[in-house]
Amino acid sequence: MENTEVQLDSETDLLPGVASPNIELPFEQLRAVVEAVIYVTDEPLSADQIATALQQPAARIGQVLEELTAEYSKPERGLTIREVAGGYKISTKPEHHEAVRAFVKNLKPPLKLSLAALETLALIAYKQPITAPEVMEVRGVQGAGVIKTLIDRKLIATAGRKTVLGKPILYKTTKEFLVQFGLKDLSELPTLKEFEELGRLSVSDDEVPGDGETVVEQAPVEGSADETAAERAESSVTE
C-alpha cells in the first residue's frame, strides 16, 4: 500500500478540498475523509491532528475513529485501523501477513522500459495504427529493436498492413498496455506531456538502457531543454 505525505493548505491550514473552518461536515462524509487521510499518511495520526487539519470538533473525530476501528476489526476485513505510537494507522492484519508475503513473492516484477521504448510506445498509443517507418520519422532514429521489445512485452501488436508502397506493418497497443498503465480504455490516455511526466516518479538503472537512454518504469520521462520526439509528435496527435 503506497502512502503519500499529507500537505495542509499554507493559507487556511486545512486539507485541500475540506470545508471552511467551523462548518461541520456530514457525518458520513467526515467518516470517509478521515478514513482516506489515515490511509494516505505515512505516520500515525492522532485524533487531535485530524481534528485540527479538518477543522472539525475533536469529539466528532473521536466518534469517527471509534467507528472505523470497530468496522476494520471485523474478521472479513483484511486491513485494520489501530493505535500506534499515539496515533491511528491503517495496515494489514497480522494474521494475513504470511499470505500477503506469499502473494507478493509471486507478483511479476514491475514493467521497466528504456526511454526509447517508452517514447516509441507513446507514439504508437497516440497515433495508432502506425507503421515502424512513421515512428522512425518522428523519433529520428532507427527503432526496429525497440518495437521488438514492445511486442515481446505484449504492449503492442500488429494491426495489419498499410495500403501504401511496400505495405509496411501497422502497430497498435494491446490490452496489456491498458493494464500496465491503469487505463479503462484509450479514451483515458493522458496528454503526451502528462504521459512523460509519469516517468519522473520512477527512474531506474536496473536494466541496460536502449539507445543510450536511462531505464524507467511504465511511463516516459520528460526531456531536458531539448525537445523530445514525443513532444515533436504532439502537434499531430489530434489529426
Query: pTM to 2 decimals?
Result: 0.47
Kindly tell me if the per-residue pLDDT of 145 is higher than 80: yes
Pairwise CA distance, residues 67 & 50, whole Å? 15
At residue 7 the predicted structure's pLDDT band, cuts being 50, 70 and 90, is low
pLDDT tens digits along 42-91: 888 889 988 988 888 888 898 999 999 998 888 888 888 888 888 888 88
**In the prediction, which pLDDT does 229 show?**
43
Q: Taking a C-beta distance cutoff of 8 angstroms, is the pair 93, 80 a contact?
A: yes
Q: For residue 231, give the 3-state DSSP assignment.
A: helix
State the average pLDDT over residues 22-49: 86
Mean pLDDT, rounded, for 151-157: 92
Give the DSSP H/E element, type plus range, for residue 103: helix 97-105
More confident residue, 2 or 125: 125
Whether the per-residue pLDDT at 204 is higher than 60: the answer is: no
Name beta bridge partners: 89: 82
- Mean pLDDT over residues 186-200, rounded? 70
**Average pLDDT of every residue of the chain:** 75
Question: Quick check: 170 pLDDT over 90?
Answer: yes
Give the whole-number percent of the chain exceeding pLDDT 90.
Answer: 13
CA angle 107–178–120, rounded 5-degree value? 105
- Quickly state the pLDDT bin for 13 (edges 50, 70, 90): very low
Which residue would you say has higher pLDDT here, 177 or 198? 177
150, pLDDT greater than 90: yes
By three-state DSSP, how is residue 227 classified?
A: coil
Strand order in the sheet with 156-161: 130-131, 169-173, 156-161
Spatial CB neighbours of 35, under 8 Å, sequence gap ≥ 6? 68, 81
- Please give the single-letter amino acid code of residue 202: S
Tell me the per-residue pLDDT of 101-116, one tens digit each, with 9 for 90 and over: 888 887 777 677 888 8
Percent residues over pLDDT 70 in the chain: 69
List, in order of start, the domains of the chain with CATH numbers: 27-103 (1.10.10.10), 112-234 (1.10.10.10)
The cell numbers describing 47, all together, are 485524533
> Is the pLDDT reported for residue 205 higher than 70?
no
Which segment of 32-46, 167-181, 200-214 scores lowest on mean pLDDT?
A: 200-214
DSSP 210: S
Burial class of 157 by CB neighbour count within 10 A (0 to 12, 13 to 18, 19+)? middle
